[in-house]
Amino acid sequence: MRALASVAVVSLLACTREQAPEPPAASAPSAPQQHGPAFLADDWQEAQRRARAGGTILFVDAWAQWCHTCWSMKRDVLHHPALGAYQSRVTFVEIDTDRPQNADFVARYPVRGWPTFFAVDPTSGVILAVQGGSMSLAETIAFLDRALTLRSSGAPADAALAAGYRALQDGDARAAAARFEQAAAMGGARRTEAATAAYRAWREAKDHAACVRSALAALGVVEGSAAAGDTASYLLLCAEELPKDDAARAGALQTAQAKLEALVKTPAAGAAVDDRADVMINLADLYEQQGRKDDARALHEQRLRLLDDDARSADPLAARVHDYARMNSYLALGRGDEAVALFHARIAQLPDDYEAHARLASTLFKLERYHEAQPIAERAVTLAYGPRRLRYLLLLADVCAKRGDRAAERAALERLVRENDALDGKLRLDDLAAKATSRLAEKKPG
């Protein structure tokens, strides 16, 4: 999970296409590698039925096609043979949260970051455990073992966590944060889960001071391959939202920076390449803000060596894991043409992959090659579905604006608003649609 950098707004689609294409059919279940678990794809009702019939719990991989950490988990962890041993006790399901058919799941189990892993009781629908972001194989096994014991657990920390998850489902982030902090204070095996859930809930509640306080407390106790890096990144995010004269701001930023620097020097045990790369770019972004351009450049070069080495695979699905991360470092180093070449090659390998098209369009946009970007973005919009397509429509509007085609810009923005209105409530991107509406009002003829 990369907390700091804003997601590149891909937006170039057919400036003139009017009819929204139907989303492609649900992806086929992820194939088990050797004897890893088989995941049921995009059928929450069937997954619940199977779990109830088999007396199992549900393990849900809530993911998205554009999420690089999601692909990293699928490649390196989720189909490992060690997890296959759980199939008699666990029903595995993957839910693409952008697909309109999964709106009911997203409405009941809100996803705030990708990937998010849920353990769910299929009879009651109660959330047993949640992990936001990546896990190592050992952590995934521990997550499953812990979840299997929770159906009958009456421990106070487990009850507090369950209450926090119910509050989140009800939309009360402040109440959820308080319960998560209560659970974290009790210690035990779920302290990291509770501590990370607490600061995320405070951020969702837009209480940035509480988020800083909670993340600072968490930084000293969280354990695991990605938790410290994620916590430092959230600490930066929340601290930057504080007023510049707030006494807590400077200290929080310094603490977060020190943790990121320590993790670059000595990565957390079990940290995936994806996790290490996220730490590096968050620190590089911070160096850029401080005017430390040489340090930022050196970090990007180190990061790119790490990513390029891990991406050496004949299988394009395995190699693609780091495409977005590599793109960001190529651009930061002034090597945008290499990012363009990367995505052209990936599109040749995966011609129906919307993400490769969208990232290429975004790269071309940043390089001010707007004429080249438009047809690529149009293809990305055609291939995409759900809320992700809205972001590509915004990119399209931006490209059309740069080309001076105001009519096409307006058409893209109007389509964005219409398609957002047509989505199920929990899939809508109302903030994005509001920005589009504001732009339309500013550019209203006459």
Is residue 361 within 8 Å of 383, Cβ to Cβ? no
For the chain, the domain total comes to 1
CA-CA distance, 160 to 140, in Å (whole number)?
22
Is residue 366 within 8 Å of 331, Cβ to Cβ? yes
- In Å, how far from its chain's centre is CA 220? 24
Structure tokens at 344: 């052209």
How many of the other CB atoms lie within 10 Å of CB of 85?
Answer: 14
Cα first-last separation, the chain: 45
Q: For the segment 246-270, what is each residue's pLDDT rounded down to a tens digit?
A: 999 999 999 999 999 999 999 999 9
Residue 112 lies in a domain: yes
Residue 48 lies in a domain: yes
Residue 41 lies in a domain: yes
Helical packing angle, 191-204 and 173-185, nearest 10°: 160
Residue 77 lies in a domain: yes
Is residue 235 within 8 Å of 185, Cβ to Cβ? no
Residue 58 lies in a domain: yes
Structure tokens at 309: 């080495």
How many of the other CB atoms lie within 10 Å of CB of 368?
Answer: 9
Structure tokens at 143: 């997550």
326 Cβ contact list (under 8 Å, min separation 6): 304, 307, 308, 311, 339, 342
Q: What angle do CA 386, 405, 18 make, to 5 degrees?
A: 35
pLDDT at 15: 40
Residue 147 lies in a domain: yes
Q: How large is the C-alpha radius of gyration of the chain?
A: 22
pLDDT at 20: 39
319 Cβ contact list (under 8 Å, min separation 6): 311, 312, 313, 346
Residue 383 lies in a domain: no
85 Cβ contact list (under 8 Å, min separation 6): none
Q: Pairing mode, if any, of strands 90-96 and 57-63?
A: parallel
Buried b (16+ CB within 10 A) or exposed e, 248-260: bbeebbebbbebb
Is residue 394 within 8 Å of 11, Cβ to Cβ? yes
Q: CATH number of the domain that 144 lies in?
A: 3.40.30.10
pTM of the shown model:
0.88
Residue 69 lies in a domain: yes
CA-CA distance, 19 to 232, in Å (whole number)?
44
Q: For the segment 312-359, what is each residue's pLDDT rounded down to a tens digit?
A: 888 999 999 999 999 999 999 999 999 999 999 999 999 999 999 999
CA-CA distance, 420 to 432, in Å (whole number)?
9
438 Cβ contact list (under 8 Å, min separation 6): none
Collapse the DSSP code of 178 into the 3-class scheme (helix H, G, I; strand E, B; otherwise coil) and give the result. Answer: helix
pLDDT at 63: 98
Is residue 210 within 8 Å of 200, Cβ to Cβ? no
Nearest to 192 by CA among 204, 202, 200, 184: 184
8-state DSSP, 430? H
Residue 45 lies in domain: 35-153
Query: Could you tell me which residues are beta bridge partners of residue 96?
Result: 63
197 Cβ contact list (under 8 Å, min separation 6): 130, 132, 161, 164, 176, 177, 180
Is residue 294 within 8 Å of 275, Cβ to Cβ? no
* Below-50 pLDDT ranges, the chain: 2-33
Task: For residue 132, report the phi and psi dihedrals to the nearest 5 degrees.
Answer: -100, 120
